[in-house]
Structure 1
Amino acid sequence: MRIYFTFEPRPDLKDPLVAEFPEVDFVFENALSIEELQKADVLVTYGEDLDNDNIQYAKKLKWIFVASAGVEKMPAQAIIDRGIVVSNVRGIHKTPMAESILAHILAIKRALPWMYEQQKKSEWSKKAKQSELRDSTALILGPGAIGSEVGRLLQAFGVKTIGCNRTGKEAVYMDDMVSFDGLLDTLPKADIVISVLPKTIETTHLLKEAHFKAMKNNAIFMNFGRGNLVDENVLIQAIENGEIGHTVLDVFEEEPLAANHPLWTLPNVIVSPHVSSHSARYVERSLEIFKPSLEKWMKGERDLENVMDLSRGY
């Protein structure tokens, strides 16, 4: 069996992997090679290097392991047509992303950005507009692995959590649940609105003008899922009209964000360049999912962890 990685893990992660599976022919490169793709039985990728042009060369490919949660840049239909199994690392992002989200919330509540600016000016001032997180309400769009971890941390701070998904089905660490249909009626209750939704047809421009008008004008709006959630012109209008108090964005409709994009300079907006999931332990956690799945695959089993339904996008 030939397994082709289009990235190279650190030696302390790669060497144990190779030693644990001596019967596997591993190939590690830091870019996708057509020559290697033609020979691969299994492909391990971040998901951005495989496209409709090069997948035609992957004649032997039977399984793609995506070391990422999103697969929107992959040639979904071609993969479906070929019957290739796709699994990913859903769940490994929950710790760094939840910590990133909580860090931004606490920074805003305790006026840390304002303090940093005062320090740059060597100005001693106690006029910071600080508030408490306790006793607030957070609406979490997409209470899956990441959203539920956010909910767990927020509950520890005394925050009421409301989850929102397509069906309204219960999720852990959510005090209440609503469906997408109940979103508009729930938004006025939320002090913090956090989206960690995946990119699907249903989530594309899910939030519209009416949703921002329904939010508290001092609410914190955070998008850490995918940039398709809202038309950025709608979001900019809501910010300029004072319909929300603070905005924290880790994802955008077009990435990287253009240097002249208005979101860079609008007041009370924090731009995070899609780094909330980054961690020194990212590949380590990915391999913790890959190894058990590889053991199953080599035994002929196909009930791998995190098998994806590409027709749904997750």
Structure 2
Amino acid sequence: MTSRRQFLKFSALGTAATVLMPQLAHAATVNKPIVVSTWEHGGPANEEAWKILQRDGRALDAVEAGVRVPEADPDVRTVGYGGYPDASGRVTLDACIMDENMNCGSVAFLQDIKHPISVARKVMENSPHVMLVGEGAKRFALEQGFKEENLLTEQSKAEWQAWLKGREVQHINIENHDTIGMLALDANGDLSGACTTSGAAYKMHGRVGDSPIIGAGLYVDNEIGAATATGMGELMMKTVGCHLVVELMRQGASPQQACRQAVMRIAHKLDDYQKFQVGFLALNKAGEYGAYCIQPGFNYAVRDEAGSLLKDGKSLLESQA
């Protein structure tokens, strides 16, 4: 006669097998290496990451190198150097990185350091912590050899000064997207992710969004897949959105289905969800990817052996039109 304990044990094993089945089914047809990233500026970032991936390099190295491209580009106004300042006129940066072994590092409210993603990796590898913030993060960066420099370009400064005259709130929508998130699957079959931003334009001084928060703006589970997010960070933080996307994939959802379900969960909680933008991008262990958002206009870049693509994410409002 089967005891209750044995029954529960066998039930758990059966459930685990069912959950893992979608992953195992794709084992013979894995699309690797591959890198995906949010927004059009993800294209050049992907190309830099691809240089590493095509040489059988590690996904972690690829995502760091990739997102450093927009971090250093003054024309990408929502990431790194040249990013929009906060309400006080200071450029404050957030970033996080996560590898295939669940190691992760993060910095928030970092000032005067051009590459927060590389500081985040140093936090992961050279400190006992996951996150450093503010002056402590800057001090750590300088101790690690990073250079202090002014990140406020003349163009960003002029636009901030013009904004000061009216102080109109800058809503996070398709015109004010705030992140590059990147996910990569390397030739060894390992996943890593990175996320970096200068945050919402003219935000309150001290505001931190989802981008440096593991589970909200980025999450990687090397058994299942990875996810990153863009848009209204507060909403991703309230739902731990990227962790949710990965857990939905664990339950058998495709990356596309998981992103859609996560967006729908957020929209269901908001009476006025049409006012906001939330977008998720996901990549699973089979090299399959998908994205979904609230408002039309969210796009993402893909690079694999077949070449480069810029794709439009499917959206909730578009499906209701």
* Larger relative contact order (CA 8 Å, sep ≥ 6): 2
Higher strand share goes to which structure?
A: 2
Q: What TM-score, normalized by structure 1, do the two folds share?
A: 0.29
Q: What TM-score, normalized by structure 2, do the two folds share?
A: 0.28
